[in-house]
Structure 1
Amino acid sequence: MFNKRIVLVGLCMALFCTPLLVKAEGAKDLTASLALLPGVIDSPDKGPFVDLVKAIGGVYTEGKIKIETYPFARSIDNVVKGKADFHIPTVRNRAVSAESLPYRFTTEKIGNVAFVIYSNTEKPLTKKMLKEAMAQKGKFPYTIEVVPGIENQFGFPGTPSVDLTSSLQKVQKKRIDALVWAQEEADNALKTLKIKSIQREHWMDYEDSIIIAKGPQGDAVDKILSNALRKLRADKQLQPLYAKVHRPYDDWQPAKMGW
Protein backbone atom coordinates (compact mmCIF):
# COMPACT_ATOMS: atom_id res chain seq x y z
CA MET A 1 0.00 0.00 0.00
CA PHE A 2 2.82 2.36 0.92
CA ASN A 3 4.60 1.61 -2.35
CA LYS A 4 1.40 2.35 -4.32
CA ARG A 5 1.13 5.76 -2.63
CA ILE A 6 4.73 6.57 -3.58
CA VAL A 7 3.99 5.62 -7.19
CA LEU A 8 0.84 7.78 -7.24
CA VAL A 9 2.66 10.77 -5.74
CA GLY A 10 5.45 10.34 -8.27
CA LEU A 11 3.00 10.25 -11.17
CA CYS A 12 1.24 13.40 -9.93
CA MET A 13 4.53 15.25 -9.57
CA ALA A 14 5.52 14.20 -13.08
CA LEU A 15 2.22 15.41 -14.54
CA PHE A 16 2.35 18.79 -12.81
CA CYS A 17 6.08 19.42 -13.24
CA THR A 18 6.49 18.33 -16.89
CA PRO A 19 4.88 21.48 -18.39
CA LEU A 20 7.13 23.62 -16.20
CA LEU A 21 10.21 21.74 -17.36
CA VAL A 22 9.18 22.05 -21.00
CA LYS A 23 8.66 25.78 -20.59
CA ALA A 24 12.01 26.19 -18.87
CA GLU A 25 13.79 24.25 -21.62
CA GLY A 26 11.94 26.18 -24.35
CA ALA A 27 12.58 29.56 -22.79
CA LYS A 28 15.29 31.65 -24.46
CA ASP A 29 16.94 34.77 -23.13
CA LEU A 30 18.08 37.16 -25.87
CA THR A 31 20.92 39.67 -26.09
CA ALA A 32 20.09 42.86 -27.98
CA SER A 33 23.05 44.77 -29.41
CA LEU A 34 22.09 48.41 -29.96
CA ALA A 35 24.20 51.01 -31.76
CA LEU A 36 25.03 54.13 -29.77
CA LEU A 37 23.33 57.11 -31.44
CA PRO A 38 22.86 60.51 -29.75
CA GLY A 39 19.28 61.15 -28.70
CA VAL A 40 18.05 57.79 -29.94
CA ILE A 41 20.22 55.23 -28.14
CA ASP A 42 22.29 56.93 -25.44
CA SER A 43 22.88 53.93 -23.14
CA PRO A 44 21.38 50.51 -22.37
CA ASP A 45 18.76 52.32 -20.28
CA LYS A 46 18.17 55.57 -22.16
CA GLY A 47 16.69 56.39 -25.55
CA PRO A 48 13.44 55.89 -27.49
CA PHE A 49 14.85 52.86 -29.34
CA VAL A 50 15.75 51.35 -25.96
CA ASP A 51 12.14 51.87 -24.86
CA LEU A 52 10.97 50.07 -27.98
CA VAL A 53 13.21 47.06 -27.26
CA LYS A 54 11.92 47.02 -23.68
CA ALA A 55 8.37 46.93 -25.07
CA ILE A 56 9.33 43.93 -27.21
CA GLY A 57 10.66 42.31 -24.03
CA GLY A 58 7.38 43.09 -22.33
CA VAL A 59 5.36 40.96 -24.75
CA TYR A 60 7.99 38.23 -25.03
CA THR A 61 7.18 36.23 -21.91
CA GLU A 62 9.23 33.07 -22.62
CA GLY A 63 12.54 34.75 -21.75
CA LYS A 64 14.29 38.03 -21.01
CA ILE A 65 16.04 40.51 -23.29
CA LYS A 66 19.39 41.92 -22.17
CA ILE A 67 20.26 45.27 -23.79
CA GLU A 68 23.87 46.20 -24.59
CA THR A 69 25.20 49.21 -26.51
CA TYR A 70 28.20 49.47 -28.85
CA PRO A 71 29.55 51.57 -31.73
CA PHE A 72 27.46 50.94 -34.85
CA ALA A 73 29.71 48.63 -36.88
CA ARG A 74 30.73 46.60 -33.83
CA SER A 75 27.09 46.16 -32.86
CA ILE A 76 26.32 44.53 -36.21
CA ASP A 77 29.48 42.43 -35.95
CA ASN A 78 28.26 41.11 -32.60
CA VAL A 79 25.34 39.43 -34.40
CA VAL A 80 27.47 38.10 -37.25
CA LYS A 81 29.93 36.55 -34.77
CA GLY A 82 27.21 35.12 -32.52
CA LYS A 83 27.87 37.45 -29.58
CA ALA A 84 24.34 38.91 -29.73
CA ASP A 85 20.96 37.73 -31.00
CA PHE A 86 19.92 40.89 -32.81
CA HIS A 87 21.01 44.41 -33.71
CA ILE A 88 19.02 47.65 -33.86
CA PRO A 89 18.78 49.96 -35.79
CA THR A 90 19.26 49.18 -39.46
CA VAL A 91 17.68 49.76 -42.84
CA ARG A 92 16.63 47.23 -45.42
CA ASN A 93 16.84 47.92 -49.13
CA ARG A 94 15.01 45.10 -50.88
CA ALA A 95 16.87 45.89 -54.10
CA VAL A 96 20.03 44.52 -52.45
CA SER A 97 20.49 40.75 -52.69
CA ALA A 98 20.07 39.06 -49.30
CA GLU A 99 22.59 36.37 -50.29
CA SER A 100 25.37 38.97 -50.47
CA LEU A 101 24.96 39.95 -46.80
CA PRO A 102 26.61 38.25 -43.79
CA TYR A 103 23.35 38.58 -41.85
CA ARG A 104 19.59 38.63 -42.47
CA PHE A 105 16.60 40.73 -41.42
CA THR A 106 13.51 39.95 -39.41
CA THR A 107 10.38 39.12 -41.39
CA GLU A 108 8.46 41.91 -39.67
CA LYS A 109 9.76 45.47 -40.07
CA ILE A 110 9.54 48.09 -37.32
CA GLY A 111 8.51 50.97 -39.58
CA ASN A 112 9.88 53.31 -42.26
CA VAL A 113 12.76 55.73 -41.76
CA ALA A 114 13.54 58.85 -43.79
CA PHE A 115 17.15 59.26 -44.91
CA VAL A 116 18.47 62.73 -45.68
CA ILE A 117 21.30 64.12 -47.83
CA TYR A 118 23.38 66.57 -45.78
CA SER A 119 25.64 68.70 -48.01
CA ASN A 120 27.32 72.10 -47.87
CA THR A 121 25.14 75.07 -48.85
CA GLU A 122 27.98 76.45 -51.01
CA LYS A 123 28.45 73.11 -52.77
CA PRO A 124 25.08 71.34 -52.52
CA LEU A 125 24.57 67.73 -53.56
CA THR A 126 20.94 67.25 -54.51
CA LYS A 127 18.88 64.11 -54.89
CA LYS A 128 18.75 64.72 -58.65
CA MET A 129 22.55 65.00 -58.85
CA LEU A 130 23.03 61.82 -56.83
CA LYS A 131 20.61 59.82 -58.97
CA GLU A 132 22.29 61.06 -62.16
CA ALA A 133 25.70 60.02 -60.81
CA MET A 134 24.35 56.57 -59.94
CA ALA A 135 23.11 56.13 -63.52
CA GLN A 136 26.45 57.08 -65.11
CA LYS A 137 29.26 54.68 -65.90
CA GLY A 138 32.80 55.20 -64.70
CA LYS A 139 34.17 56.50 -61.41
CA PHE A 140 31.58 57.74 -58.94
CA PRO A 141 32.19 61.51 -58.65
CA TYR A 142 31.19 62.13 -55.02
CA THR A 143 32.57 61.29 -51.59
CA ILE A 144 29.60 60.45 -49.39
CA GLU A 145 29.78 59.11 -45.86
CA VAL A 146 27.05 56.77 -44.67
CA VAL A 147 26.05 54.62 -41.71
CA PRO A 148 28.91 52.14 -41.02
CA GLY A 149 28.23 48.43 -41.35
CA ILE A 150 25.27 48.88 -43.72
CA GLU A 151 26.92 50.93 -46.48
CA ASN A 152 25.87 48.20 -48.95
CA GLN A 153 22.18 49.14 -48.50
CA PHE A 154 22.20 52.53 -50.21
CA GLY A 155 22.75 51.75 -53.88
CA PHE A 156 25.67 54.16 -54.35
CA PRO A 157 29.35 53.93 -53.30
CA GLY A 158 29.47 55.18 -49.72
CA THR A 159 32.30 55.52 -47.21
CA PRO A 160 31.54 54.29 -43.67
CA SER A 161 31.35 57.15 -41.20
CA VAL A 162 33.68 56.83 -38.24
CA ASP A 163 31.61 59.27 -36.19
CA LEU A 164 28.36 61.08 -36.99
CA THR A 165 29.46 64.39 -35.49
CA SER A 166 32.79 64.39 -37.33
CA SER A 167 31.00 63.54 -40.60
CA LEU A 168 28.77 66.60 -40.27
CA GLN A 169 31.85 68.71 -39.53
CA LYS A 170 33.52 67.30 -42.67
CA VAL A 171 30.50 68.45 -44.68
CA GLN A 172 30.78 71.89 -43.07
CA LYS A 173 34.49 72.10 -44.02
CA LYS A 174 33.85 70.68 -47.53
CA ARG A 175 36.13 67.72 -46.87
CA ILE A 176 33.38 65.39 -48.15
CA ASP A 177 30.52 66.06 -50.56
CA ALA A 178 27.72 64.79 -48.35
CA LEU A 179 26.51 62.65 -45.51
CA VAL A 180 23.47 60.38 -45.97
CA TRP A 181 21.95 59.37 -42.64
CA ALA A 182 18.67 58.74 -40.85
CA GLN A 183 16.87 62.03 -40.24
CA GLU A 184 16.41 62.01 -36.46
CA GLU A 185 19.90 60.83 -35.53
CA ALA A 186 21.67 63.29 -37.84
CA ASP A 187 19.30 66.16 -37.00
CA ASN A 188 19.96 65.68 -33.29
CA ALA A 189 23.70 65.98 -33.90
CA LEU A 190 23.25 68.90 -36.30
CA LYS A 191 21.17 70.86 -33.81
CA THR A 192 23.76 70.26 -31.11
CA LEU A 193 26.56 71.50 -33.39
CA LYS A 194 24.41 74.42 -34.63
CA ILE A 195 25.91 74.33 -38.12
CA LYS A 196 24.06 76.70 -40.47
CA SER A 197 26.06 75.96 -43.65
CA ILE A 198 24.52 72.53 -44.22
CA GLN A 199 21.67 71.90 -46.65
CA ARG A 200 19.17 69.10 -46.03
CA GLU A 201 17.24 67.19 -48.71
CA HIS A 202 15.15 64.04 -48.47
CA TRP A 203 16.93 61.11 -50.11
CA MET A 204 14.42 58.26 -49.65
CA ASP A 205 12.59 56.14 -47.10
CA TYR A 206 13.88 52.70 -46.14
CA GLU A 207 12.40 49.88 -44.12
CA ASP A 208 13.50 50.16 -40.49
CA SER A 209 14.36 46.56 -39.64
CA ILE A 210 16.29 44.35 -37.22
CA ILE A 211 19.46 42.44 -38.06
CA ILE A 212 19.62 38.78 -37.02
CA ALA A 213 21.94 35.87 -37.80
CA LYS A 214 21.52 33.56 -40.76
CA GLY A 215 20.65 29.92 -40.12
CA PRO A 216 18.46 28.10 -37.57
CA GLN A 217 19.47 30.39 -34.72
CA GLY A 218 18.36 33.43 -36.69
CA ASP A 219 15.11 31.68 -37.66
CA ALA A 220 14.26 31.17 -33.99
CA VAL A 221 15.05 34.80 -33.13
CA ASP A 222 13.06 36.02 -36.15
CA LYS A 223 9.99 34.16 -34.91
CA ILE A 224 10.30 35.70 -31.44
CA LEU A 225 10.88 39.29 -32.62
CA SER A 226 8.42 39.27 -35.53
CA ASN A 227 5.67 37.85 -33.32
CA ALA A 228 6.39 40.50 -30.70
CA LEU A 229 6.26 43.31 -33.29
CA ARG A 230 2.97 41.99 -34.69
CA LYS A 231 1.47 41.91 -31.21
CA LEU A 232 2.65 45.43 -30.40
CA ARG A 233 1.27 46.66 -33.72
CA ALA A 234 -2.06 44.88 -33.22
CA ASP A 235 -2.35 46.31 -29.71
CA LYS A 236 -1.57 49.80 -31.09
CA GLN A 237 1.51 50.11 -28.89
CA LEU A 238 4.16 50.09 -31.63
CA GLN A 239 3.32 53.31 -33.48
CA PRO A 240 3.45 55.66 -30.45
CA LEU A 241 6.82 54.14 -29.47
CA TYR A 242 8.19 54.34 -33.02
CA ALA A 243 6.98 57.94 -33.45
CA LYS A 244 9.49 58.88 -30.74
CA VAL A 245 12.28 57.37 -32.86
CA HIS A 246 11.47 58.18 -36.51
CA ARG A 247 8.90 60.38 -38.21
CA PRO A 248 8.15 61.29 -41.84
CA TYR A 249 10.61 63.68 -43.50
CA ASP A 250 10.58 67.17 -41.99
CA ASP A 251 11.52 69.85 -44.54
CA TRP A 252 13.53 72.43 -42.62
CA GLN A 253 16.89 74.12 -43.23
CA PRO A 254 19.62 74.98 -40.70
CA ALA A 255 20.27 78.33 -42.43
CA LYS A 256 16.83 79.50 -41.33
CA MET A 257 17.32 78.55 -37.70
CA GLY A 258 18.09 81.20 -35.10
CA TRP A 259 21.41 79.72 -34.05
Structure 2
Amino acid sequence: MPIQAGRVGALLSALVLFLIGPSPIQAQPSNSDAPPHTLVIHMGELPGLINLDGSGPFVDFVRFLDDQDPNTQIEITVFPIHRAINGIVQGSADLMLPAVRPTKTVTDLPFAFSSESFGDVTHVLYTHKNNPLPVDVLWANPRPYTIEAVPYYMPFKVERSHGIEQSLRRLAAGRIDGFVWAQEEADMMLKQLGLTNIRRAHFADFQDVFVIPKGKKGQAIDAYLTALITRLRDSGALAREYYKVHRPYVDWQPE
Protein backbone atom coordinates (compact mmCIF):
# COMPACT_ATOMS: atom_id res chain seq x y z
CA MET A 1 0.00 0.00 0.00
CA PRO A 2 1.18 3.63 -0.38
CA ILE A 3 3.32 5.15 2.35
CA GLN A 4 1.19 6.94 4.94
CA ALA A 5 2.34 10.00 6.89
CA GLY A 6 3.23 7.87 9.93
CA ARG A 7 5.61 5.79 7.83
CA VAL A 8 7.80 8.72 6.78
CA GLY A 9 10.00 8.35 9.86
CA ALA A 10 10.35 4.63 9.23
CA LEU A 11 11.35 5.28 5.62
CA LEU A 12 13.98 7.78 6.72
CA SER A 13 15.36 5.24 9.21
CA ALA A 14 15.55 2.69 6.41
CA LEU A 15 17.35 5.27 4.29
CA VAL A 16 20.04 5.72 6.94
CA LEU A 17 20.59 1.97 7.06
CA PHE A 18 20.73 1.89 3.28
CA LEU A 19 23.37 4.64 3.15
CA ILE A 20 25.71 3.01 5.65
CA GLY A 21 25.12 -0.54 4.46
CA PRO A 22 26.54 -2.42 1.46
CA SER A 23 26.13 -1.21 -2.09
CA PRO A 24 22.59 -2.04 -3.34
CA ILE A 25 24.17 -3.86 -6.26
CA GLN A 26 25.93 -6.26 -3.90
CA ALA A 27 23.22 -6.47 -1.24
CA GLN A 28 21.97 -9.92 -0.36
CA PRO A 29 18.39 -10.71 0.76
CA SER A 30 17.86 -10.07 4.45
CA ASN A 31 17.10 -12.92 6.83
CA SER A 32 14.87 -10.66 8.88
CA ASP A 33 11.20 -11.54 9.12
CA ALA A 34 10.30 -7.85 9.00
CA PRO A 35 8.28 -6.98 5.87
CA PRO A 36 10.02 -4.69 3.36
CA HIS A 37 9.11 -1.05 3.14
CA THR A 38 6.86 -0.58 0.15
CA LEU A 39 6.86 2.11 -2.53
CA VAL A 40 3.91 2.09 -4.90
CA ILE A 41 4.67 3.31 -8.42
CA HIS A 42 2.04 4.07 -11.01
CA MET A 43 3.46 3.99 -14.54
CA GLY A 44 1.68 5.64 -17.43
CA GLU A 45 1.19 3.56 -20.56
CA LEU A 46 3.66 4.19 -23.39
CA PRO A 47 3.12 1.39 -25.92
CA GLY A 48 6.36 -0.45 -26.52
CA LEU A 49 8.07 0.96 -23.43
CA ILE A 50 5.39 0.70 -20.75
CA ASN A 51 2.64 -1.73 -21.72
CA LEU A 52 -0.62 -2.20 -19.86
CA ASP A 53 0.23 -5.86 -19.25
CA GLY A 54 3.27 -4.80 -17.19
CA SER A 55 5.88 -5.51 -19.85
CA GLY A 56 8.33 -3.18 -21.58
CA PRO A 57 11.88 -1.90 -21.07
CA PHE A 58 10.84 1.02 -18.86
CA VAL A 59 9.00 -1.38 -16.54
CA ASP A 60 12.07 -3.62 -16.53
CA PHE A 61 14.17 -0.59 -15.52
CA VAL A 62 11.99 -0.04 -12.45
CA ARG A 63 12.25 -3.74 -11.61
CA PHE A 64 16.03 -3.34 -11.79
CA LEU A 65 15.83 -0.50 -9.27
CA ASP A 66 13.60 -2.63 -7.08
CA ASP A 67 16.18 -5.43 -7.05
CA GLN A 68 18.89 -3.19 -5.58
CA ASP A 69 17.55 -2.95 -2.02
CA PRO A 70 16.06 -6.03 -0.31
CA ASN A 71 14.61 -3.82 2.43
CA THR A 72 12.36 -1.86 0.08
CA GLN A 73 9.79 -3.25 -2.34
CA ILE A 74 8.51 -1.30 -5.35
CA GLU A 75 5.00 -2.31 -6.39
CA ILE A 76 4.35 -1.55 -10.07
CA THR A 77 0.96 -0.90 -11.67
CA VAL A 78 0.46 0.42 -15.21
CA PHE A 79 -2.41 2.78 -16.03
CA PRO A 80 -3.28 5.25 -18.77
CA ILE A 81 -1.05 8.26 -18.12
CA HIS A 82 -3.75 10.53 -16.69
CA ARG A 83 -4.69 7.87 -14.11
CA ALA A 84 -1.04 7.33 -13.22
CA ILE A 85 -0.62 11.05 -12.47
CA ASN A 86 -3.86 11.11 -10.48
CA GLY A 87 -2.41 8.38 -8.27
CA ILE A 88 0.21 10.83 -7.01
CA VAL A 89 -2.26 13.69 -6.63
CA GLN A 90 -4.81 11.56 -4.76
CA GLY A 91 -2.23 9.83 -2.56
CA SER A 92 -2.59 6.26 -3.81
CA ALA A 93 0.91 6.21 -5.33
CA ASP A 94 4.35 7.20 -4.03
CA LEU A 95 6.09 7.43 -7.41
CA MET A 96 5.05 7.96 -11.01
CA LEU A 97 6.73 7.54 -14.38
CA PRO A 98 7.25 8.72 -17.07
CA ALA A 99 8.11 12.34 -16.35
CA VAL A 100 10.53 14.99 -17.57
CA ARG A 101 11.94 17.81 -15.47
CA PRO A 102 10.55 21.21 -16.50
CA THR A 103 13.02 23.56 -18.14
CA LYS A 104 11.76 26.39 -15.93
CA THR A 105 10.46 26.67 -12.39
CA VAL A 106 6.90 25.42 -12.13
CA THR A 107 5.08 25.95 -8.83
CA ASP A 108 1.44 25.32 -9.67
CA LEU A 109 1.67 21.56 -10.26
CA PRO A 110 0.08 19.33 -7.58
CA PHE A 111 3.21 17.14 -7.40
CA ALA A 112 7.00 17.43 -7.29
CA PHE A 113 9.94 15.86 -9.12
CA SER A 114 12.86 13.83 -7.86
CA SER A 115 16.05 15.81 -7.25
CA GLU A 116 18.15 13.29 -9.15
CA SER A 117 17.61 12.39 -12.79
CA PHE A 118 18.35 8.85 -13.88
CA GLY A 119 19.09 9.78 -17.51
CA ASP A 120 18.52 12.14 -20.42
CA VAL A 121 15.66 11.45 -22.78
CA THR A 122 16.14 12.64 -26.36
CA HIS A 123 13.24 14.62 -27.82
CA VAL A 124 12.62 14.89 -31.54
CA LEU A 125 10.95 17.64 -33.55
CA TYR A 126 8.68 16.09 -36.16
CA THR A 127 7.65 18.35 -39.04
CA HIS A 128 6.00 17.92 -42.43
CA LYS A 129 8.28 16.89 -45.29
CA ASN A 130 6.81 19.58 -47.58
CA ASN A 131 7.00 22.29 -44.94
CA PRO A 132 10.08 21.52 -42.83
CA LEU A 133 10.71 23.66 -39.77
CA PRO A 134 14.37 23.90 -38.77
CA VAL A 135 14.99 23.43 -35.07
CA ASP A 136 17.04 26.61 -34.76
CA VAL A 137 14.25 28.64 -36.39
CA LEU A 138 11.71 27.25 -33.93
CA TRP A 139 13.94 27.95 -30.93
CA ALA A 140 14.60 31.51 -32.13
CA ASN A 141 10.93 32.41 -32.63
CA PRO A 142 8.32 29.80 -31.69
CA ARG A 143 5.32 32.13 -31.65
CA PRO A 144 4.22 31.81 -35.31
CA TYR A 145 4.08 28.01 -35.16
CA THR A 146 1.55 25.53 -33.84
CA ILE A 147 3.52 22.88 -32.01
CA GLU A 148 1.97 20.00 -30.08
CA ALA A 149 3.84 18.58 -27.10
CA VAL A 150 3.59 18.20 -23.32
CA PRO A 151 3.16 21.80 -22.12
CA TYR A 152 4.54 21.70 -18.58
CA TYR A 153 8.19 21.07 -19.46
CA MET A 154 8.48 22.77 -22.84
CA PRO A 155 10.57 25.97 -22.89
CA PHE A 156 7.92 27.87 -24.87
CA LYS A 157 4.16 27.82 -25.26
CA VAL A 158 2.77 24.81 -27.13
CA GLU A 159 -0.56 23.12 -27.73
CA ARG A 160 -1.22 20.07 -25.60
CA SER A 161 -0.77 16.77 -27.41
CA HIS A 162 -3.56 14.33 -26.62
CA GLY A 163 -1.59 11.34 -27.85
CA ILE A 164 1.32 10.40 -30.09
CA GLU A 165 -0.82 8.90 -32.83
CA GLN A 166 -3.22 11.85 -32.92
CA SER A 167 -0.42 14.39 -33.15
CA LEU A 168 1.47 12.51 -35.86
CA ARG A 169 -1.70 12.16 -37.92
CA ARG A 170 -2.49 15.86 -37.49
CA LEU A 171 1.03 16.71 -38.57
CA ALA A 172 0.87 14.41 -41.61
CA ALA A 173 -2.39 16.11 -42.62
CA GLY A 174 -0.80 19.57 -42.35
CA ARG A 175 -2.99 20.70 -39.45
CA ILE A 176 -0.04 21.60 -37.19
CA ASP A 177 3.51 22.80 -37.84
CA GLY A 178 5.35 20.42 -35.56
CA PHE A 179 5.25 17.79 -32.85
CA VAL A 180 7.84 17.30 -30.10
CA TRP A 181 8.07 14.03 -28.21
CA ALA A 182 10.49 11.51 -26.72
CA GLN A 183 12.36 9.72 -29.49
CA GLU A 184 11.67 6.05 -28.77
CA GLU A 185 7.95 6.40 -28.09
CA ALA A 186 7.19 8.63 -31.08
CA ASP A 187 9.47 6.72 -33.47
CA MET A 188 7.72 3.45 -32.68
CA MET A 189 4.35 4.99 -33.52
CA LEU A 190 5.71 6.71 -36.63
CA LYS A 191 6.95 3.39 -37.98
CA GLN A 192 3.73 1.65 -37.04
CA LEU A 193 1.64 4.23 -38.91
CA GLY A 194 3.90 4.07 -41.96
CA LEU A 195 3.89 7.84 -42.45
CA THR A 196 6.54 8.93 -44.96
CA ASN A 197 5.75 12.64 -45.26
CA ILE A 198 7.23 13.49 -41.85
CA ARG A 199 10.78 14.63 -41.17
CA ARG A 200 12.74 14.21 -37.93
CA ALA A 201 15.31 16.43 -36.22
CA HIS A 202 16.97 16.45 -32.80
CA PHE A 203 15.13 18.99 -30.66
CA ALA A 204 16.67 18.72 -27.18
CA ASP A 205 17.57 16.35 -24.36
CA PHE A 206 15.53 16.57 -21.16
CA GLN A 207 16.09 14.96 -17.77
CA ASP A 208 14.09 11.83 -16.97
CA VAL A 209 12.82 12.06 -13.39
CA PHE A 210 10.27 10.55 -11.02
CA VAL A 211 7.07 12.33 -10.06
CA ILE A 212 6.76 12.30 -6.25
CA PRO A 213 4.32 13.82 -3.74
CA LYS A 214 4.80 17.28 -2.38
CA GLY A 215 5.61 17.80 1.30
CA LYS A 216 7.41 15.68 3.90
CA LYS A 217 6.31 12.39 2.37
CA GLY A 218 7.83 13.38 -0.95
CA GLN A 219 11.01 14.62 0.72
CA ALA A 220 11.57 11.24 2.36
CA ILE A 221 10.99 9.43 -0.92
CA ASP A 222 13.30 11.86 -2.71
CA ALA A 223 16.09 11.22 -0.20
CA TYR A 224 15.80 7.49 -0.79
CA LEU A 225 15.84 7.90 -4.58
CA THR A 226 18.83 10.25 -4.41
CA ALA A 227 20.87 7.68 -2.48
CA LEU A 228 19.88 4.83 -4.79
CA ILE A 229 20.40 6.69 -8.07
CA THR A 230 23.71 8.22 -6.99
CA ARG A 231 25.25 4.90 -6.02
CA LEU A 232 24.04 3.19 -9.19
CA ARG A 233 25.37 6.05 -11.31
CA ASP A 234 28.78 5.89 -9.62
CA SER A 235 28.97 2.13 -10.30
CA GLY A 236 28.12 2.53 -14.00
CA ALA A 237 25.08 0.25 -13.67
CA LEU A 238 22.56 3.08 -14.03
CA ALA A 239 23.71 4.14 -17.51
CA ARG A 240 23.89 0.54 -18.68
CA GLU A 241 20.30 -0.21 -17.66
CA TYR A 242 18.87 3.14 -18.78
CA TYR A 243 20.34 2.63 -22.27
CA LYS A 244 17.75 -0.12 -22.71
CA VAL A 245 15.00 2.51 -22.33
CA HIS A 246 16.26 5.71 -23.98
CA ARG A 247 19.24 6.28 -26.26
CA PRO A 248 21.01 9.30 -27.75
CA TYR A 249 19.52 10.78 -30.91
CA VAL A 250 19.39 8.40 -33.87
CA ASP A 251 19.56 10.20 -37.22
CA TRP A 252 17.16 8.56 -39.67
CA GLN A 253 14.21 9.60 -41.84
CA PRO A 254 10.98 7.77 -42.80
CA GLU A 255 11.03 6.44 -46.34
Instruction: Map 1:72-111; keep pairs closer than 5 Å.
Output: 72-93=81-102, 95-111=103-119
Structure 1 runs, 4 residues or longer, greater than 6 Å off:
none
CA deviations on 1:127-184 (whole Å, 9 max, x unpaired) are 12211224xxxxx32222113xxx2211122222222112111111112211100011
Residues paired across the two proteins, number:
224
More helix, by proportion: 1
Q: Aligned equivalents of 2:110 and 2:240: distance in 1?
A: 32
CA contact (8 A) 2:54 2:77 kept: no
Displacement, 1:64? 1.6
Q: 2: CA distance between counterparts of 1:159 and 1:98?
A: 17
Q: TM-score, normalised by structure 1?
A: 0.80
CA RMSD in angstroms comes to 1.8
The separation in 1 between residues aligned to 2:218 and 2:53, in whole angstroms, is: 22
TM (norm. structure 2) is 0.81
Aligned to 1:158: 158
Residue 122 of structure 1 is aligned with which of 125, 130, 155?
130
> In 2, distance between residues paired with 1:31 and 1:181?
27
For residues 225 and 44 of structure 1, the distance between their equivalents in structure 2, rounded to whole angstroms, comes to 25
Counterparts of 1:44 and 1:234 in 2: how far apart (Å)?
A: 32
1:143 to 123, 143, 146: 146
1:75-108, Cα deviation, whole Å (9 max, x unpaired): 2222122121111111113x41143432211122
Please name the residue that 1:5 is paired with.
none
Where structure 2 has 5 or more consecutive residues not aligned to the other structure, the ranges are 1-31
Q: Which amino acid aligns with 1:166?
A: Q
Q: Could you tell me which amino acid in structure 2 is paired with residue 253 of structure 1?
A: Q
Deviation at 1:220, TM superposition (A): 1.5
Contact kept? 1:96, 1:153, Cα under 8 Å: yes
Give the letter for the 2:145 counterpart.
Answer: Y
Larger Rg, first or second structure (1 or 2): 1
CA contact (8 A) 1:89 1:210 kept: yes
Equivalent position amino acid for 1:232 in 2: L
Query: Larger deviation: 123-132 or 231-240?
Result: 231-240
- Per the alignment, residue 11 of structure 1 pairs with none
**Counterparts of residues 205-244 of structure 1 (less than 5 Å):** 205-244=205-244
Corresponding residue for 1:181? 181
Does the residue aligned with 1:156 lie in a helix, a strand or coil?
A: coil
Deviates more, 1:97-106 or 1:201-210: 97-106
Instruction: Specify every segment of 5 or more residues in structure 1 that has no aligned partner in the other structure, as ranges.
Output: 1-19, 135-139
> 1: distance between equivalents of 2:106 and 2:65?
25
Q: Which residue number corresponds to residue 36 of structure 1? A: 45
- The equivalent of 1:112 in structure 2 is 120
CA contact (8 A) 1:48 1:241 kept: no
Q: Using the alignment, how far apart are the partners of 1:126 and 1:72 within structure 2? A: 30
**Distance between the aligned counterparts of 1:70 and 1:129, measured in 2?**
37
1:254 alignment counterpart = 254
For residues 30-69 of structure 1, the aligned pairs below 5 Å read: 30-43=39-52, 45-69=54-78
Structure 1 Cα separation of the partners of residues 80 and 52 of structure 2: 11
**Corresponding residue for residue 9 of structure 1:** none
8 Å CA contact retained: 2:54, 2:78: no
CA distance in 2, matches of 1:202, 1:245: 18
* 3-state SS in 2 of match to 1:187: helix
Is the CA contact (8 Å cut-off) linking 1:56 and 1:225 kept in structure 2? no
